[in-house]
Chain A
Amino acid sequence: MQQGTIDHVQEGLGTAAEGGIPDFAEIVRAHQGMIFSLAYHFLRDRGLAEEMAQEVFLELHRHLGSLESSAHLVFWLRKVASRKCIDQNRRRSFWPKFRLDEIPEPEAKTRETDTLLSGALGKLVASLPEKPRMVVVLRYQEDLDPAEISELLDMPVATVKSHLRRSLDILRDKLARTVGEIAL
């Protein structure tokens, strides 16, 4: 986020906590991409992701008074979004799993197949178990390091690293089977 936006959001935090909806709208606009993306990459469903992201911001509105800074706000948003995504996934035990045979075959084995590769990778990420999936999304979408992820998900750093390592192995293996011998 740019400095101007951060200042604006910090100003907004003060007045939004007092119930000023226009400032709250500014906060929503500034962070909607992050929260919607987290939910979308985790759930792979735009409708559900939007609903989840809306829930996160509604909960934010109820807790604005307890947030102290922009950094705290971002931490809070990521934490609540992660928790809600995992809860949602547990509630929907019938949630469709992506199978390898549903993933379209890329046409070529070169690195120009980025769009197809991204689509296949996104689906493969969505097939990971909940916690490793959230670790991967936070690591590669938000560029967080294992220590930050461990704080967000309330799990030891070693567990985060283990989830990351194992998820990469699984993804590498599945991807190799899916797209052939792309140089990994």
Chain B
Amino acid sequence: MSYLEEDLKAALRRVEAPPDFTARVLERLAAPEAPKRNWWAELALLLRPPRLQWVALSVIAGTVIPIAGIHEREQRRMEGEMAKQQLVYAVRLAGSKLHHVQKKVFEISQTDRHL
């Protein structure tokens, strides 16, 4: 056996369990078991009148809030798209105006040269 294996044996030797370990196990054993959950009964209980309102409210909130969120996001996307189109149009317009001005300047300079 190598030194490492000897060291591992020493490092992994058994340690004492806490002194009151057995007592705690027996305590847990003696404690009454938690009753098993009946999912159908709990669901039926949820649908009784006083709780039904809350269930309905939760369902409505759970549906309406995400839909409103999606609508809002779509609205913003469309506004952004429109702004982008306007910007592109403005840039094109400015470009054509600039081109027109350059053309005029060129014509004037040609006329001056002939004179």
A residues sitting closer than 8 Å to B (CB atoms) are 21, 24-25, 28-29, 32-37, 40-41, 46, 50, 53-54, 57-58, 61, 111, 114, 117-119, 121-122, 125, 136-137, 140-141, 143, 168, 171-172, 175, 182-184
Inter-subunit contact B4/A184 (CB<8 Å):
yes
Main secondary structure of the interface of B (DSSP, over half): helix
Give the tally of cross-chain contacts (CB within 8 A): 94
* Residues from chain A with Cβ under 8 Å of B43 in the complex: none
**In the complex, chain B residues 48-73 whose Cβ is within 8 Å of any chain A Cβ:** none
Inter-subunit contact B26/A53 (CB<8 Å):
no
Chain B interface residue count, Cβ-Cβ cutoff 8 angstroms: 24
Q: Which 10 A-B pairs have the closest CB atoms?
A: A36-B17, A121-B11, A118-B11, A32-B17, A141-B12, A37-B14, A140-B8, A140-B12, A28-B22, A57-B25
- Asked if B112 is an interface residue, CB under 8 A from chain A, the answer is no
B residues sitting closer than 8 Å to A (CB atoms) are 2-5, 7-18, 21-22, 24-26, 28-30
Q: Which of B4, B10, B17, B29 contacts A58 (CB 8 A)?
A: B29
26 A-B contacts, Cβ less than 8 Å apart?
A: A21-B29, A24-B26, A24-B29, A25-B25, A28-B21, A28-B22, A29-B22, A32-B22, A33-B14, A33-B16, A34-B14, A36-B18, A41-B12, A50-B18, A50-B21, A53-B17, A54-B28, A117-B10, A118-B11, A125-B12, A136-B12, A141-B14, A168-B5, A171-B8, A175-B4, A183-B3
